Amino acid sequence: MKKALSPLNMILACFLTVVANGYLLIRTYPVTLAAVIAVFLIIILLSFRTRLKTTTVRLIFCRFGANLLTMFALSLIPSVIYHVVLLILYLRGDYMVIVWSAVMCICVSAFVFWAGIISVYCSSVQLGIRWRVIGAVCGMIPIANLVVLNIIIGTVTEEVSFEISREVLNKERADQKVCATKYPILFVHGAFFRDSKRFNYWGRIPKELECNGAKVYYGEHQSARPIADSAVELKERILTIVEETGCEKLNIIAHSKGGLDSRYAIAKLGMAPYVASLTTINTPHRGCVFADRLLNFAPASVQEKVASVYNTTLKKLGDESPDFLAAISDLTASACEIFDKELAVPDPIVRQSFGSKLNKATGGQFPLNLSYRFVKYYDGANDGLVGEDSFAWGDTYTFITTEGKRGISHGDMIDLNRENIPGFDVRELYVGLVSNLRQRGL
């Protein structure tokens, strides 16, 4: 909350305290009612000040909400103390003074609080579902509600500060077009997800790259098919993009199983002439021992039941012929051992890989925080799904994590949760990656 404690916010909090507790003043001097209302409106308007280096409406409302919640929190204790004093002074006299003063204070404070909380709930990305739910649950619990309010204010304030710093950075380098590669970018998703306009698999990354000059396309293949089948779909997509745009080649950035799908399309389906580079992100090049154990020990009836649920769901999401078990089987260590030997990507294609790991199970979002422990038992250090030893591939390999308990999960590497993680700027990671391709003339 420290960043929210600007001098202006503290001054406005003082005025808010006076307004909220102004019943006696208005009762004694009714003419001051207009002045009190005017001061209150000025407080709201000044909270809505847009002296930010941004024109993004979402960030403006985030800051507005954080300002109101900060003033509400700062005015709370003085208001309580004031009414304790009133209680002492008027308890044996006109006790209705206390009642009406409390009513006015509660109404003014409630307006400021709800205006603030609605603003941040509707505009913040970093609060996520978790803190929204916690805030709602703890709202009526004394002390706990203040602790949670402090966390909400701090989270939203940090979000605004970080997002504005990114906007400023992008404006400063706008003329450089650092991501304007010679060949377009083709994003290839992993298993059990689809490219979607409503919820982009790659989070905020594509928009960030486009802001810096990149041309972006998507694989648009089904979410759960064997590697060979997914590769056929990718082949068709690559040829379509090349034919429609005349770009000659593509820079492929592939996540998870998408890296194996891409290798197959290049090595076995003749796509090498159309690919300038292949970058794999947390791809299980040597598979997952955990997947072997899961398929070997889980009863066939259980596997079929799980597969049926997944396949039915995936069909509703757009897949024509999902095959959950086939997709999982191709990600086993035994299957990938064969694939890794057969799927050689030839020169002059630039080949590089990235990987990451969680430091503890609690560092990952659901369900990766649960799967982490199982994967660790069989594959060792991992990102919640894939073991660290399975990532390295190509001419260069970059390993990423953070200090402390957090680490970087399988989903964090594609900005799946749109989370700003201390020590790891996923958008800048991809800007640097694509900028490097540009510098290589790709």
- Token look-up 């989903």 returns 411
Residue 82, Cβ neighbours under 10 Å: how many? 19
Distance (Å, rounded) from C-alpha 308 to C-alpha 5?
Answer: 54
Pair 163, 182 in one domain: no
Cα 58 to Cα 120: distance, rounded to the nearest angstrom: 9
> What's the number of CA atoms in the CB half-sphere (13 Å) around residue 183?
24
Q: 169, 198, 228: which is the final residue of a domain?
A: 169
Q: What is the pTM of this model?
A: 0.88
Do residues 272 and 387 share a domain? yes
Domain shared by 127 and 199, yes or no: no
Those residues of the chain that have pLDDT short of 70 are 1-5, 49-52, 91-93
Whether 13 and 71 have beta carbons less than 8 Å apart is answered as: yes
Does residue 161 share a domain with residue 199? no
User: Can you give the pLDDT at residue 92?
Assistant: 67
Q: What is the pLDDT of residue 45?
A: 84
Residues 205 and 326 in one domain: yes
Are the beta carbons of 112 and 68 closer than 8 angstroms? yes
How many whole angstroms separate alpha carbon 186 and alpha carbon 249? 10
Residues 212 and 112 both lie in one domain = no
Task: Give which of 227, 180, 218 is closest to 200, Cα–Cα.
Answer: 218
**Do 93 and 200 share a domain, yes or no?**
no
Same domain, 30 and 141: yes
In this prediction, residue 430 carries a pLDDT of: 97
The one-letter amino acid code at 352 reads Q
Start-to-end CA span in the chain (Å): 45
Position 3 scores a pLDDT of 55
- What is the C-alpha separation between 393 and 68, in angstroms, rounded? 50
At 5 the pLDDT is 65
Domain count, the chain: 2
pLDDT (0 to 100) of residue 52: 67
Please, are residues 16 and 71 in contact by the beta-carbon 8 Å criterion? yes
Question: Both tokens of residue 247?
Answer: 């770009």
Please tell me the predicted confidence (pLDDT) of residue 4. Answer: 59
Look at residue 227 in the predicted model and tell me its pLDDT.
95
Amino acid 328: pLDDT:
87
- Of the three residues 110, 136, 169, the one that is the final residue of a domain is 169
Same domain, 68 and 184: no
Write out the residue range of the structural domain in which residue 238 sits. 177-439
Q: Which residue type sits at 411? A: G
Instruction: Report the alpha-carbon distance of residue 156 to residue 123 in Å, rounded.
Output: 9
